[in-house]
């Protein structure tokens, strides 16, 4: 790389972009999105979603189904291999990270840093895109800290905190960006029961009051069913099984099919939301706990009642997989373990 090129890159770091954020409501559209670390093994495939209404969206699904990958593709942390992601009609491939960050706040599953700053400074990093005065940045940080109830920790070193406190700091940093779209990767992981409820309740309130789109990954079906406006259920092999109101998505059929756990659904009398009571896990005759949901989907197709979210391409691939499995025999079983 020549000096000239380096100077150009340096200039682009300092250069201010034209204002991209319009004041209208935000919208995320994913069209035929696929992503894979390897070419031939996609983690998520043929994702089609449009999220245009504000609200709290809970993404649920078993481990390794591509939930984190999906949200990372939405905010350009991962570059999708196929399809396109549009934010307010703009393709994120053509947007700089800086522009994407003006719309989207992303809260990762938080861990300690190699070199850690104080909590206050860690959250202040979330303001780096803004051209506000230091005073107003500090005020924004203070507001977000009080929202997460961590004002007392402000002077502490980030690495001294517990995992739950890390999580709260990470959420506060996401909030300080004041994004139109907030995306959280398991925000309630590591939190105690009180804060699990508090955070989910808070995210619902923010979505309603600020007219934000809040997307969160959750493993708690009951909290999701209670607080989410919409639930996005993902299933193997990296597809969206169903999107809809909680009572439509969190059903006995879906939970058993997607997670492979026996359950019954009862109705919460106070709020009219479904409550999942989990039963035994499903196993196949060899004692493998992983039940391939692809099998269920295929059975469904054979019985002629395939759900509308499963498009033909995916089914084609599931078919290939199952064929491949019967050819490979034990190889696939080892992989499952």
Partner 1 sequence: MKFIDDIDKDPLIAGPLTAVVRRWSSTDDSDDAGFRRQMKDYHRTLKRRMFFIFCCVIIMVLAAGYAVAYGPLDISFMDTYITIWNHITGNITDTGMDYIIVTVRSPRIVAGIIGGIGLAICGVVMQSVLRNPLADPYTTGVSSGAGFGATIAITFGFAVANSSATVILAFLFSLLPTLSIVLMSRHKSAASPTVMIMFGIGLMYIFNALTTVLMLWSSPEDLAAVYQWQVGSLAKVDWDDIPYMMAVVIPGAIIIQLLSGKLNVLATGDDNAKALGLNPHQMRVILLALTGLISAAVVSFTGIIGFVGLVTPHIVRIFIGADNRYLIPASALFGGMLMVVADLIGRSIIPDATLPVGVVMAFIGGPTFIWLLLRKGSKAW
Nearer to partner 1, 239 or 276 (CB): 276
Q: How many residues bind partner 1 (CB under 8 A)?
A: 74
Q: How far is the CB of 308 from partner 1 (least distance, A)?
A: 22
Task: Report whether 141 contacts 123 (CB < 8 A).
Answer: yes
Residues in 276-335 that interact with partner 1 by CB under 8 A: none
The owner of tokens 């990767």 is 185
Q: Three-state SS string across the chain, please?
A: CCHHHHHHHHHHHHCCCCCCCCCCCCCEEEEEEEECCCCCCCCEEEEEEEECCCEEEEEECCCCCCHHHHHHHHCCCCCCCEEEEEECCEEHHHCCHHHHHHHEEEECCCCCCCCCCEHHHHHHHHHCCCCCCHHHHHHHHHHHHHHCCCHHHCCCEHHHCCHHHHHHHHHHHHHHCCCCEEEECCCCCCCCHHHHHHHHHHHHHHHHHHCCEEEEECCCHHHHHHHCCEEEEEECCCEEEEEECHHHHCCHHHHHHHHCEEEEEEECCCCCCEEEEEEEECCCCCCCCCCCHHHHHHHHHHCCCCCCCCCHHHHHHHHHHHHHHHHHCHHHHHHHC
Judged by CB under 8 A, the residue of 24, 114, 133, 329 near partner 1 is: 114
Q: How far is the CB of 283 from partner 1 (least distance, A)?
A: 35
> Rule CB under 8 A: is residue 154 a binding residue for partner 1?
yes
> Rule CB under 8 A: is residue 65 a binding residue for partner 1?
no
Token readout for 210 is 């600020």
Nearer to partner 1, 111 or 281 (CB): 111
Q: How far is the CB of 9 from partner 1 (least distance, A)?
A: 6
> Rule CB under 8 A: is residue 208 a binding residue for partner 1?
yes
> Rule CB under 8 A: is residue 113 a binding residue for partner 1?
yes
Nearer to partner 1, 129 or 320 (CB): 129
> Rule CB under 8 A: is residue 187 a binding residue for partner 1?
no
Judged by CB under 8 A, the residue of 20, 49, 86, 151 near partner 1 is: 151
**Spatial CA neighbour of 253 closest among 304, 317, 297:** 297
**Cα–Cα dist 142/153, whole Å:** 11
Nearer to partner 1, 137 or 257 (CB): 137
Nearer to partner 1, 49 or 282 (CB): 49
Task: Report whether 194 contacts 159 (CB < 8 A).
Answer: no
Q: Following CA atoms 143, 145, 150, 151 in sequence, which dihedral angle do they give, to the nearest 10 degrees?
A: -50
> Rule CB under 8 A: is residue 168 a binding residue for partner 1?
no
> Rule CB under 8 A: is residue 138 a binding residue for partner 1?
yes
Binding mask 24-63 for partner 1 (x = CB under 8 A): -----------------------------xxx--------
> Rule CB under 8 A: is residue 180 a binding residue for partner 1?
no
**Spatial CA neighbour of 294 closest among 38, 65, 31, 83:** 65
> Rule CB under 8 A: is residue 142 a binding residue for partner 1?
yes
> Rule CB under 8 A: is residue 195 a binding residue for partner 1?
no
Judged by CB under 8 A, the residue of 31, 82, 143, 252 near partner 1 is: 143
Segment lying near partner 1 (by CB under 8 A), choices 59-67, 258-266, 270-278, 286-294: 270-278
Q: How far is the CB of 237 from partner 1 (least distance, A)?
A: 24
Residues in 215-254 that interact with partner 1 by CB under 8 A: 226-227, 229, 245-246
Residues in 79-108 that interact with partner 1 by CB under 8 A: 96-102, 104-106, 108
Nearer to partner 1, 26 or 202 (CB): 202
Nearer to partner 1, 53 or 328 (CB): 53
């Amino acid at each position: 790389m020549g000096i000239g090129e380096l100077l150009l890159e340096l200039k682009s770091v300092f250069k201010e972009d034209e204002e991209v954020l319009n004041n209208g409501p935000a919208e995320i559209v994913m069209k035929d999105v696929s992503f894979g670390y390897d070419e031939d093994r996609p983690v998520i495939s043929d994702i089609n979603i449009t999220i245009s209404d504000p609200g709290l969206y809970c993404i649920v699904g078993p481990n390794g189904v591509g939930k984190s990958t999906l949200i990372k593709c939405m905010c350009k942390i991962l570059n999708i291999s196929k399809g396109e992601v549009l934010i307010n009609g703009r393709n994120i491939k053509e947007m700089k990270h800086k522009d994407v960050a003006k719309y989207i706040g992303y809260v990762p599953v938080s861990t300690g840093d190699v070199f850690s700053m104080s909590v206050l400074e860690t959250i202040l990093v979330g303001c780096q895109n803004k051209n506000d005065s230091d005073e107003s940045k500090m005020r924004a940080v203070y507001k977000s800290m009080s929202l997460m109830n961590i004002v007392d920790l402000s002077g502490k070193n980030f690495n001294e905190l517990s995992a739950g406190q890390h999580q709260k700091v990470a959420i506060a940093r996401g909030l300080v960006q004041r994004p139109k779209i907030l995306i959280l990767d398991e925000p309630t992981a590591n939190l105690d029961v009180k804060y699990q409820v508090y955070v989910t309740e808070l995210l619902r309130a923010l979505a309603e009051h600020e007219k934000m789109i809040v997307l969160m990954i959750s493993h708690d079906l009951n909290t999701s069913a209670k607080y989410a406006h919409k639930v996005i259920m993902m299933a193997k092999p990296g597809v969206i099984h169903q999107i809809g109101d909680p009572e439509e998505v969190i059903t006995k059929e879906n939970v058993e099919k997607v997670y492979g756990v026996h359950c019954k659904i009862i109705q919460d009398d106070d709020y009219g939301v479904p409550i999942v009571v989990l039963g035994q896990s499903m196993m196949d005759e060899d004692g493998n706990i992983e039940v391939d949901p692809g099998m269920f989907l295929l059975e469904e197709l054979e019985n002629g009642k395939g759900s509308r979210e499963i498009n033909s391409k995916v089914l084609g691939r599931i078919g290939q997989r199952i064929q491949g499995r019967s050819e490979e025999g034990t190889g696939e079983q080892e992989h499952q373990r």
